[in-house]
């Protein structure tokens, strides 16, 4: 038995020609098949001709590959005028011998009169154009006009195969445009089977909003993206928006940055959130979501970072005025160029256009922080699934670019939640902050809590906050018998606590006075006892003194009596003889 299994790197990969079209090379994993024809089909107005022209122009400008454009419908002057608005100067490229535009006029009535029509003349004409400038890329626009003179389907099939084989033998990378047919990708329904790569462009209208989609139907010899991808035709040309970072291999930062609200920073154990992370602030109307977002943008500018602010509800002038009223002055940073506000209604463009606008401005402005306020307004220009898909691509793009992103979203006032945030964006972001109304007795107050913060622990408390003249101020938590106390109840609680404290102080003072009185009574009693003791002591001393005096007097009298007695005794009688 022979072993035929080879290592993955042992087999040669299919060579590809990069298109230079933004996003297309990513989903084709390198570009179009090198030296082979690619069929681009679609309905009227989907951008087939522009696709092919940009393929030629990018080859000339980016890869120094000359190209030949053979058109069967529009003249060279008409094509040059059509793409001037995109910044493509076809005449200058022709003068530099980098591009050759050849218009071939085909009149079906003339073909019917003569009864003869084949592709030999086309091969000679196209081969001469290729050899003249050494072309590497070719575009044929469109194949329906070329084969309109073939009524016989067998001959048509044979000639189509012969054209594609001739292009392959010539070794040029070719883009062939074709109009979409009924029930098939093209009018003849044959070209897609002999093409090595087939790209379908679709221009559809959903709820009065134009949406363009691109799909790679087939690509022989290589893997490729198989989904439908939105694409746009802008003033910069053709651009495709693939889903980026599917493998989630972007780098992360350990640096902590401030939210712009000191009290909110203290609710995170690391005093802020990670740089390059995504933050979502959800809440009902009037809960200061925009103020929190503006505080973050202002703090970023104070650090010297550039911030891009997308406003879907307020004009720049209105946003600046409103934020200045709460102590957040954005105008100086706008003047310095650190802050850029892009304001528009979501209904101005479709979702893809908004996404391209974000991509374009980020590429031009190179910000470190991006604010989108609010993302919930995008639902007006797309379904929930489309908005979720668009935001997924946007969040991935921002993470790959290491840009700190803050989104605000309006949630339902009935239950404080909405499916878009609950099932879509909230699972994608790194930090989720909820702001909501705290209803008290006859008043509404604002509360803030952190629902999630990946990579760090955080407070689980609901903090009441105020929007003051100096920005947002978080208040200390006050717990009452029934839970958190806010607003006027907080003031009432403080008054009650102050009254209780005053009563305690008065009770302590009363007890101090009572103790002092008892101390004085005790001292007076001690003084009386001491006086009484001294009196008794004095009496006893006097008694002792008198007793001593009496004893002394008695002793003296006794001594005097004895002395007198001795003096009165007679003389001793003479001793009688024995």
Q: Is the pLDDT of residue 397 over 90?
A: no
> Cis omega before residue 142 (within 30°)?
yes
26 or 147: whose pLDDT is higher?
26
Task: Tell me what pLDDT residue 571 has.
Answer: 55
Task: Tell me what pLDDT residue 114 has.
Answer: 40
146 or 507: whose pLDDT is higher?
507
577 or 442: whose pLDDT is higher?
442
Among the residue ranges 65-69, 336-340, 562-566, the one predicted with the least confidence is 562-566
Q: What is the mean pLDDT of the chain?
A: 80
Written as six digits, the tokens of 93 are 């490229």
What are the pLDDT digits (tens) for 329-340?
999 999 999 999
Among the residue ranges 285-289, 358-362, 430-434, the one predicted with the least confidence is 358-362
The secondary structure of 365-419 as a DSSP string is H--SEEEEE-GGGGGGGS-HHHHHHHHHHHHHHHHHTT-EEEEEEE--TTTS--H
Helix (H) or strand (E) segment spanning residue 488: helix 487-568
Q: How many residues does the chain have?
A: 578
- Of 46, 397, 398, the C-alpha closest to 199 is 46
Confidence of residue 410 (pLDDT cuts 50, 70, 90): confident
The answer to whether the 2-240 and 256-475 domains have the same CATH topology is yes
In the chain, the N- to C-terminal Cα span, in Å, equals 182
Q: Is 362 exposed, middle or buried (0-12, 13-18, 19+ CB in 10 A)?
A: middle
Confidence of residue 150 (pLDDT cuts 50, 70, 90): low
Written as six digits, the tokens of 129 are 């154009």
Q: Are strands 67-71 and 37-42 parallel, antiparallel or unpaired?
A: unpaired
**Mean pLDDT across the stretch 490-500?**
73
Written as six digits, the tokens of 189 are 């329904």
573 or 425: whose pLDDT is higher?
425
The separation between CA 337 and the C-alpha centre of its own chain, rounded to angstroms, equals 21
Task: Tell me what pLDDT residue 251 has.
Answer: 78
Confidence of residue 87 (pLDDT cuts 50, 70, 90): confident
The separation between CA 47 and the C-alpha centre of its own chain, rounded to angstroms, equals 33
Task: Tell me what pLDDT residue 368 has.
Answer: 93
Written as six digits, the tokens of 73 are 């419908």
pTM of the model: 0.65
Written as six digits, the tokens of 201 are 């462009």
User: Which among 3-12, 148-157, 461-470, 555-564 has the top mean pLDDT?
Assistant: 461-470
Written as six digits, the tokens of 377 are 């307004």
277 or 115: whose pLDDT is higher?
277
Q: Is residue 30 within 8 Å of residue 187, measured between CB atoms?
A: no
Q: Are strands 32-33 and 16-17 parallel, antiparallel or unpaired?
A: antiparallel
Does 2.40.128.280 match the CATH number of domain 256-475? no
- Of 24, 7, 26, the C-alpha closest to 247 is 26
Q: Is the pLDDT of residue 154 over 80?
A: no
Task: Tell me what pLDDT residue 441 has.
Answer: 65
Name the phi and psi angles at 464, rounded to 5. -75, 140
Write the Ramachandran bin of 234: left for phi over 0, alpha for psi from -120 to 50, otherwise beta. Answer: beta
Among the residue ranges 184-188, 222-226, 262-266, the one predicted with the least confidence is 184-188
Contact partners, residue 523, CB within 8 Å, separation at least 6: none
Q: What is the 3-state secondary structure of 275-287?
A: CCCEEEEEECCCC
Task: Tell me what pLDDT residue 110 has.
Answer: 47
Confidence of residue 111 (pLDDT cuts 50, 70, 90): very low
**Mean pLDDT across the stretch 514-519?**
90
Architecture field, domain 2-240: 3-Layer(aba) Sandwich (3.40)
Three-class SS state of 468 = strand
Euclidean distance between CA atoms 373 and 355, whole angstroms: 14
Confidence of residue 369 (pLDDT cuts 50, 70, 90): very high
Euclidean distance between CA atoms 429 and 394, whole angstroms: 11
- Of 266, 300, 262, 289, the C-alpha closest to 457 is 266
Name the phi and psi angles at 84, rounded to 5. -65, -35
What are the pLDDT digits (tens) for 228-268?
787 877 777 787 876 544 456 677 889 999 999 999 999 99
Task: Tell me what pLDDT residue 320 has.
Answer: 93
What are the pLDDT digits (tens) for 284-331?
888 899 999 999 999 999 999 999 998 888 889 999 999 999 999 999
Task: Tell me what pLDDT residue 247 has.
Answer: 56
Euclidean distance between CA atoms 324 and 329, whole angstroms: 5
Euclidean distance between CA atoms 233 and 464, whole angstroms: 48
Where in the chain are the domains? Answer: 2-240, 256-475
Written as six digits, the tokens of 37 are 């024809």
Task: Tell me what pLDDT residue 420 has.
Answer: 47
Euclidean distance between CA atoms 144 and 262, whole angstroms: 67
Euclidean distance between CA atoms 350 and 373, whole angstroms: 17
Q: Is residue 395 within 8 Å of residue 358, measured between CB atoms?
A: no
- Of 16, 472, 77, the C-alpha closest to 261 is 472
Task: Tell me what pLDDT residue 371 has.
Answer: 94
Confidence of residue 113 (pLDDT cuts 50, 70, 90): very low
């Amino acid at each position: 038995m022979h072993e035929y299994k080879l290592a993955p790197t042992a087999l040669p990969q299919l060579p590809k020609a990069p298109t230079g079209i933004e996003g297309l090379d990513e989903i084709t994993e390198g570009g179009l098949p090198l030296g082979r024809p690619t069929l681009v089909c679609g309905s009227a107005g989907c951008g087939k001709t522009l696709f092919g022209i940009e393929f030629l122009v990018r080859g000339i400008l980016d890869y120094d590959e000359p190209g030949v454009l053979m058109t069967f419908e529009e003249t060279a002057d008409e094509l040059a005028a059509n793409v001037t608005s995109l910044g493509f100067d076809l005449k200058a490229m022709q003068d530099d011998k980098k591009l050759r535009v050849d218009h071939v006029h085909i009149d079906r009535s003339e073909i019917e009169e003569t009864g003869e029509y084949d592709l030999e003349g086309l091969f000679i004409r196209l081969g001469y154009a290729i050899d003249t400038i050494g072309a590497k890329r070719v575009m044929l626009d469109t194949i329906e006009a070329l084969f309109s003179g073939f009524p016989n389907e067998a001959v048509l099939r044979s000639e189509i195969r012969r054209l594609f084989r001739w292009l392959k033998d010539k070794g040029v990378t070719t883009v062939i445009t074709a109009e979409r047919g009924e029930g098939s990708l093209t009018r003849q329904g044959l070209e897609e089977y002999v093409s090595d790569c087939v790209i379908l462009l679709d221009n559809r209208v959903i709820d009065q909003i134009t949406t363009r989609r691109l799909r790679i139907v087939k690509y022989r010899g290589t893997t490729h993206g198989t989904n439908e991808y939105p694409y746009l035709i802008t003033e910069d040309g053709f651009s495709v928006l693939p889903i980026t970072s599917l493998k989630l291999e972007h780098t992360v930062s350990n640096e902590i940055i401030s939210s712009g609200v000191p009290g909110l920073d203290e609710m995170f154990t690391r005093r802020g959130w990670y740089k390059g992370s995504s933050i979502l602030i959800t809440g009902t109307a009037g809960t200061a979501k925009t103020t929190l977002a503006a505080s973050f943008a202002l703090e970023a500018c104070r650090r010297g970072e550039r911030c891009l602010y997308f406003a879907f509800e307020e004009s720049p002038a209105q946003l600046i005025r409103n934020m200045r009223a709460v102590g957040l002055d954005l105008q100086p940073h706008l003047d310095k160029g650190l802050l850029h506000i892009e304001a528009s209604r979501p209904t101005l463009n479709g979702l893809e256009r908004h996404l391209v606008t974000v991509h374009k401005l980020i590429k031009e402005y190179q910000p470190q922080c991006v604010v989108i306020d609010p993302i919930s307004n995008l639902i007006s220009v797309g379904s929930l699934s489309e908005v979720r898909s668009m935001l997924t691509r946007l969040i991935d793009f921002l993470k790959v670019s290491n840009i700190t992103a803050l989104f605000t979203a309006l949630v339902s006032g009935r239950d404080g939640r909405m499916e878009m945030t609950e099932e879509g964006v909230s699972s994608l972001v790194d930090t989720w902050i909820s702001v909501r109304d705290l209803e008290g007795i006859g008043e509404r107050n604002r509360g803030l809590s952190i629902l999630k913060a990946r990579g760090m622990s955080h407070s689980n408390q609901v903090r009441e906050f105020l929007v003051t003249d100096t920005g947002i101020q978080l208040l200390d938590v006050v717990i009452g018998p029934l839970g958190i106390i806010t607003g006027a109840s907080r003031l009432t609680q403080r008054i009650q606590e102050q009254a209780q404290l005053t009563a305690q102080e008065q009770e302590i003072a009363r007890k101090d006075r009572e103790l002092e009185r008892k101390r004085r009574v005790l001292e007076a009693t001690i003084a009386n006892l001491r006086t009484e003791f001294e009196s008794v002591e004095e009496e006893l001393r006097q008694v002792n003194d008198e007793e001593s005096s009496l004893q002394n007097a008695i002793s003296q009298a006794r001594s005097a009596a004895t002395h007198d007695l001795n003096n009165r005794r007679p003389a001793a009688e003479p001793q009688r003889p024995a």
